[in-house]
Amino acid sequence: MLLDPYKRKINYLRISVTDRCNLRCRYCMPEEGIPLISHGEVLTYEEILRIVRVFAAEGISKIRLTGGEPLIRKGIVDFISRLSQIKEVKDLSLTTNGILLKELARDLRQAGLNRINISLDSLRKDRFFQITRKDDFERVWSGIEAALEVGLSPIKINMVAIKGLNDDEIESFARLTLHLPLTVRYIEYMPSGNGESWKETDLLTIPQINQRLEKLGPLIPVPSDHWDGPAKRFWINGALGEIGFIGAVSSHFCSDCNRLRLTSDGKIRTCLFSDEEIDVKEILRKGGSDCDLRDRLLAALKAKPEKHHIDSCQFKKCQRNMSAIGG
């Protein structure tokens, strides 16, 4: 079992397999993109597998693949198949923007992927284009339908709610759960990325969202399970799906944090909102042993902070773009 200095059990590793993305979401990056990590600096699949094997032997049992956009990396399906064969890994999931999901959903399921999260901030084609700068809403929705068809369940839709941009769609997203077995998760707009500047006035808090959704009917709490992470889950009576809330700004979940992050260029990050990193790629490429990798893991655990400081006047936005961290 892996415990950090605050006695939190760490069993979850989020892995960014690429910093590249086929969208340009306004809150994430500028229209022209960002400087990319060179291919030679990105961890190979073999290197990631070695890291996972060592970390899993110490207590990591949950893996989530992120990006950038993970489905654009060549060989991702075969990589997932190999990851799924590591016996200590009990839950293997992926976060995607859904553009390539229609073509890959069945292969991903057959490769051993358990669950999928899809980032989608609007159900309107015109607004989807406004937010992402790409005209791909139909492809994303087709990807969601394909994931439902092949049984990649539960399917979670992550909506970043931003005041004045898409907050008029909050109720529309909730209504999806009435007739589809989807979990819609509302995520507070966080100060990260190299996109348009974060302003507190753009923040729509979870209590504000909750208040609006109660107009659709009482939100009935759903008992959490051990894979839930920070989301608080609810259900509207008679719905096929669920609703979740992630309040990283207004009500941080640091006391229950169970995760580390591995960047695409081989750094362990102990907190989404901290720039402190532990280099593991150096060990891999200088002939280090598995024991050396284990020592870096333990060093990362010791460096894990008690909480983030978004609400502090000393808070500084992370230097890395979210697409390189993996969210």
| Segments making up each domain of the chain, as ranges | 12-325
pLDDT of residue 275: 80
Average pLDDT for residues 45-60, to the nearest whole number?
98
- CB burial of 113-147 (b: ≥16 within 10 Å; e: otherwise) equals bbbbbbbbbbbeeebbeebbebebbebbbbbbebb
Alpha-carbon distances of 224 from 18, 54, 244, rounded to whole Å: 31, 29, 11
User: What band does 320 get if pLDDT is binned at 50, 70 and 90?
Assistant: low
Which of 85-88's residues contact partners 24+ apart within 8 Å by CB, and which partners? 85/112, 86/49, 86/52, 86/53, 86/56, 88/56, 88/57, 88/60, 88/61
* Domain 12-325 in CATH 3.30.230.10: no
Average pLDDT for residues 293-321, to the nearest whole number?
74
pLDDT of residue 315: 47
Of the candidates 262, 316, 196, 289, which has an alpha carbon nearest to the alpha carbon of residue 45? Answer: 262
User: What band does 256 get if pLDDT is binned at 50, 70 and 90?
Assistant: confident
- DSSP for 259-308 reads EEEE-TTSEEES-TT---EEE-HHHHHTT--HHHHHHHHHHHHHH--S--
Using CA atoms, how far apart are residues 320 and 159, in angstroms rounded to an integer? Answer: 22
pLDDT of residue 18: 97
Note the pTM of the prediction, 2 decimals: 0.92
